[in-house]
Structure formats: C-alpha cells, structure tokens
Amino acid sequence: MGIFDFLGGSGPEKALKLKSKVTQKYGDPSTRQKALQQLGEMQFPEAVSVLLHRYTITVEPLTTDADEKEHVFELIKSFGKDAIPPVTEFLRKNEQATSWALRILEALLPEAEVVTLVVDALQHLGSQYMRDPEKKVVLLHYVTGKQDARIAPAVLPHLDDMADEVKIAALKALGPQKHEPAREPILHLLTAPDTARRVQVAALEALQESGFGVQGYREKVDAVLADPYYVDGGGLVKRRG
C-alpha cells in the first residue's frame, strides 16, 4: 500500500483536501510543510492550484514564510509545462501573489508568452475598481521597459484608474512606448484639477521620455510644471540637468 493510498488516495480530491492545511497560518508548521511536500509529489494540475494558495497567506516568523514560499516555487516549477494552465488561471482570477505567479511563468515560458498573458490580464482588468491595487501595479511594472506593440493599448485604460499607484505605474510603462494615442490622455491627466501632485510629476516624466508635445494644453501645462521639468520653445517637455 502506498502512502497516498493510506492517506485516502492521490487523485485531485486528495489535493483539494490538503488546501486547508496549506493555508493553515497557526499551529504546528510541520503540518503545513508536510502537505506542501505531498502536493509536490502529485502529478496533476489540481496539486499546483492548491500549492499556489500558499502564496495567499503570510506566517510567522517571516523567515519561515520566505523559505516555504521559495520551496513552493521550486515544487511548482518541477511540474514543468503542466503547471502553466493552473498558474495562468491563478494569475487571472486572484488578486494576491501576482509577483509569484509571474516569477513561475517566467521560469517556464519565453518572455513573449509571459507578456501575452500579462497583456491579457491588463485588458481584462481595465480600469475597474480593485480594493487593493497591488495586482495592477505588479502587472504594469512587469511590462515597463519591454518593447511590444500590444503593451501600450493594454496599459492606456489604466490612466483612468481610481488608485494613484496604478496611474503612476501606467505612466511609467507608457513613457518608453512612445504611443501616440497616449499623448492626449497623459496631458488630460496631467492638467486635470483633481490630479495628485505625484501623479502630475509622473505624467511630466512620461511626456519627457516619450517626446510628445503639449500642443493644445500649453497654458494648462505651464500652470502645473514642477522642477526640474520645463517646456521648451518647440512645445516639448524637457528636464534640466
């Protein structure tokens, strides 16, 4: 009799039954750690789905938390291509642990395929309200600096997000893209009366980096300029120094 027969089977049902132990924050940590190891030895996607839930909790001490999460990363990575569908589903449906999901996908897929998944996630989220903006910010940070024609259109709607952190992350992603349809939305955000100062500074940085002119908004832009940024004679935002 194998160990999984003794424990009640090794199929998907067994994996799902271990979820409560994987997400157990208190009590003997060996119970949680044993469940993680058991899941890592299973050979079906449900095991990966349950392992991913370890990323949705934080335990004390933090050194144990970090060690367990790294262990889960290695366990999931060992599933290879079989881990991709459940990790992709987790990325799409869960607000937590986005950075871990991306790290796993980066280990299993070429960058272009990860960008595809992130673009899809950004398009799905749009500017819809999220109580915690962390997921959007992590996704936007991931595409920042990457050159792909699909990125800018997926990022643009996030300029209208309710969270300033998301707006700033979107601006940082858009600047290097030099995406012409983003010019007026950035200028509108910069000059809107209710835009926070730190968002305005990020907008000025995006305009300077993209090389967009301020035509049609010159007076409004002059009214909100902040050092070290200025508008030159050609209507371009420049940075001193």
pLDDT digits (tens, 9 = 90+) for 194-230: 999 999 999 999 999 999 999 999 999 999 998 999 9
Q: What is the pLDDT of residue 9?
A: 52
Tokens 């940070």 sit on residue: 141
Q: What is the pLDDT of residue 128?
A: 77
Q: What is the pLDDT of residue 6?
A: 41
User: In the chain, what are the domain boundaries?
Assistant: 1-100
Distance between CA atoms of 68 and 200, rounded to whole angstroms? Answer: 40
Percent of the chain with pLDDT over 70: 96
pLDDT of 3 above 60:
no
pLDDT digits 0-9 by tens, 105-158: 999 999 999 999 999 999 999 877 888 999 999 999 999 999 999 999 999 999
Distance between CA atoms of 52 and 43, rounded to whole angstroms? Answer: 15
Q: What is the pLDDT of residue 43?
A: 84
Cis omega before residue 228 (within 30°)? yes
Tell me the average pLDDT across 48-59.
97
Q: What is the pLDDT of residue 10?
A: 56
pLDDT of 39 above 70:
yes
Q: Within the chain, what is the greatest distance between any pair of CA atoms?
A: 82
Helix (H), strand (E), coil (C) string for the chain: CCHHHHHCCCCHHHHHHCHHHHCCCCCCHHHHHHHHHHHHCCCCHHHHHHHHHHHHCCCCCHHHHHHHHHHHHHHHHCCHHHHHHHHHHHHHHCCCCHHHHHHHHHHHCCHHHHHHHHHHHHHHHCCCCCCCCHHHHHHHHHHCCCCCCCHHHHHHHHHHCCCHHHHHHHHHHHHHHCCHHHHHHHHHHHHCCCCCHHHHHHHHHHHHHHCCECCCCHHHHHHHCCCCEEECCCCEEEECC
pLDDT digits 0-9 by tens, 62-75: 999 999 999 999 99
User: What is the chain's mean pLDDT, rounded?
Assistant: 94
Angle between helical axes of 134-143 and 98-108 (0-180°, round to 10): 30
Q: What is the pLDDT of residue 226?
A: 87
